[in-house]
Structure 1
Amino acid sequence: MPTQVALSFSGGKDSCLALYYLQQEGIAVKCLLTTAWKHPQTTVAHEEEHSRIHEQAERLGIPVHFIETDFSTYADDFVFHIGEMKRLYGIDGIAFGDIYLDGHREWGETIAERAGVEAVYPLWADASEVAALLRKIVSLGFRAEVIKVDSEKLPQSWVGRELDEAFINDIITYSDVCPMGESGEYHTYVYDGPIFEKGRVD
């Protein structure tokens, strides 16, 4: 098991919970790696502004590095930046917040192998356990809001909703939606919780 890792970090609930679990296991998270499109300059998938990720990193006390990329060079850019993190921080692992999609895990393990480090999946679980994982996020005191939804899966009006018991009770009624949004049904931004120093991220 690696002892010093970089964490693939989106600013959402999965990567924040992964950070919490890594810290609980005594694994040093030396840096955060956030993928962002070259054009426009927003984060991949979440479409978040760089400044909001910087705000989180500052309160976490962990340096963040952006992987500016596009579809054609995504994997190669990721491998290159892991290598840079090895040089800068001496990491021996790269951690991901994926939960149960085998294709995602296989991709991460391939990237890690190419970079000469080990892939770590602190949240890895069976698909049947994801509702419990979402409840864990809320019970631990993480505060997050929905910033994006797949409108073919969830109402657009859910953007801006808080992750709380009411949210959980609503999302589990959608039989074709993963409660954790593992297939991109929704994305979140975490602004408070046990991994942060005092004061919320606005």
Structure 2
Amino acid sequence: MKKRIALSWSGGKDCCMALDTLIKQGYEVVSLVTTVPKEHGRTFGHGERTEMIKLQGEALSIPVHFIECTYETYTNEFVNAVQTLKNQYGITGIAYGDLYLKEHRDWGENVALAADVEALYPLWTNKENALMLLKNFVDSGYQAIVIRVREDVLDETWLGRLIDESFIREVEQTATCPMGESGEYHTFVFDGPLFSKRIQLDGREIIKLETTKKLEFKIHHLIDGEK
């Protein structure tokens, strides 16, 4: 019997590759877990609107479990959510798409310990391997677009860039981690091998969020068709 697990989901390339890797390893991902701050009305990690995450869940045929929380209650609410999923779906673990930041892994392992489940990090590696991981994503068949940049690192001309060979060449020339592991940039995955439908994105608009700029799409819907 496959181990049933939940996956922390931001909507970007890292968690998507974690999902792909976990499924290839024989896990059954029964829920995508996304935190939503009460005070912002957007996801914590990428500042994405919840309807965009819902579209991904529908395209992947995996239910999304939103955790409504504040900065102060973030950890406790996450633990509670994992325990709820444990009771509801019988999950044995919670997976994360983190790559090499130890403080992130420590937090995730503490959450798993508190909820009495296993912590899984399918992409975990050394910082030096970040460029290789980016190349692996480009070769994977998934499609992602840059939807948020940290203004102290990358300017808004990076918004709307597809994660492709040209992106690899140009990001390699910056001081940014190629995978954006420290939040230099964030992405939104809109198609790929596990997607039963493609997410069509139109009507671009750039907005400012604190120290970052965010690309929004006024028009977004699923496109049916054979994969």
TM-score (normalised: structure 1): 0.96
Give the match for residue 100 of structure 1.
Answer: 100
Q: Deviations over 1:100-139 (max 9, x none)?
A: 0111001100010001101000000111111011111111
Q: Deviations over 1:22-43 (max 9, x none)?
A: 0000101010100111122100
* Residues 55, 201 of structure 1: 8 Å contact kept: no
* Residues 6, 32 of structure 1: 8 Å contact kept: yes
Give the match for residue 128 of structure 1.
Answer: 128
* Higher helix proportion (structure 1 or 2): 1
Q: CA deviation at 1:199?
A: 3.0
Q: CA deviation at 1:200?
A: 3.4
Structure number with higher relative contact order (C-alpha < 8 Å, ≥ 6 residues apart): 1
Give the match for residue 36 of structure 2.
Answer: 36
**In structure 1, C-alpha distance between the alignment counterparts of 2:121 and 2:138, rounded to whole Å:** 20
Q: Deviations over 1:137-193 (max 9, x none)?
A: 11111111101001101112211111111111000111x311000000000000011
**In structure 2, C-alpha distance between the alignment counterparts of 1:71 and 1:95, rounded to whole Å:** 21
* Partner SS state of residue 169, structure 1: helix
**In structure 2, C-alpha distance between the alignment counterparts of 1:29 and 1:166, rounded to whole Å:** 32
* Residues 95, 122 of structure 2: 8 Å contact kept: yes
Mind listing any 5+ residue stretches in structure 2 that lack a counterpart? Answer: 202-227
Instruction: State the number of aligned residues.
Output: 200
- Pairs within 5 Å for 1:51-200: 51-174=51-174, 176-200=175-199
**In structure 1, C-alpha distance between the alignment counterparts of 2:13 and 2:194, rounded to whole Å:** 12
**In structure 1, C-alpha distance between the alignment counterparts of 2:196 and 2:85, rounded to whole Å:** 24
Seen in structure 2, the aligned counterparts of structure 1 residues 173 and 182 have a Cα distance that, compared at 3 Å, is same
**In structure 2, C-alpha distance between the alignment counterparts of 1:166 and 1:109, rounded to whole Å:** 36
**In structure 2, C-alpha distance between the alignment counterparts of 1:200 and 1:159, rounded to whole Å:** 18
Q: CA deviation at 1:201?
A: 4.7
* Partner SS state of residue 198, structure 2: coil
**In structure 1, C-alpha distance between the alignment counterparts of 2:58 and 2:183, rounded to whole Å:** 27
Q: Deviations over 1:49-74 (max 9, x none)?
A: 11010000001111101011111101
* Partner SS state of residue 40, structure 1: coil
* Higher strand proportion (structure 1 or 2): 2
Q: Which stretch has the larger CA shift, 55-64 or 191-200?
A: 191-200
* Partner SS state of residue 71, structure 1: coil
**In structure 1, C-alpha distance between the alignment counterparts of 2:83 and 2:69, rounded to whole Å:** 16
* Residues 99, 181 of structure 2: 8 Å contact kept: yes
Residue identity over aligned pairs, in percent, reads 47
* Residues 55, 199 of structure 2: 8 Å contact kept: no
* Residues 192, 201 of structure 1: 8 Å contact kept: no
Root-mean-square deviation (Å): 1.1
* Residues 143, 192 of structure 1: 8 Å contact kept: yes
Amino acid at match of 1:102: K
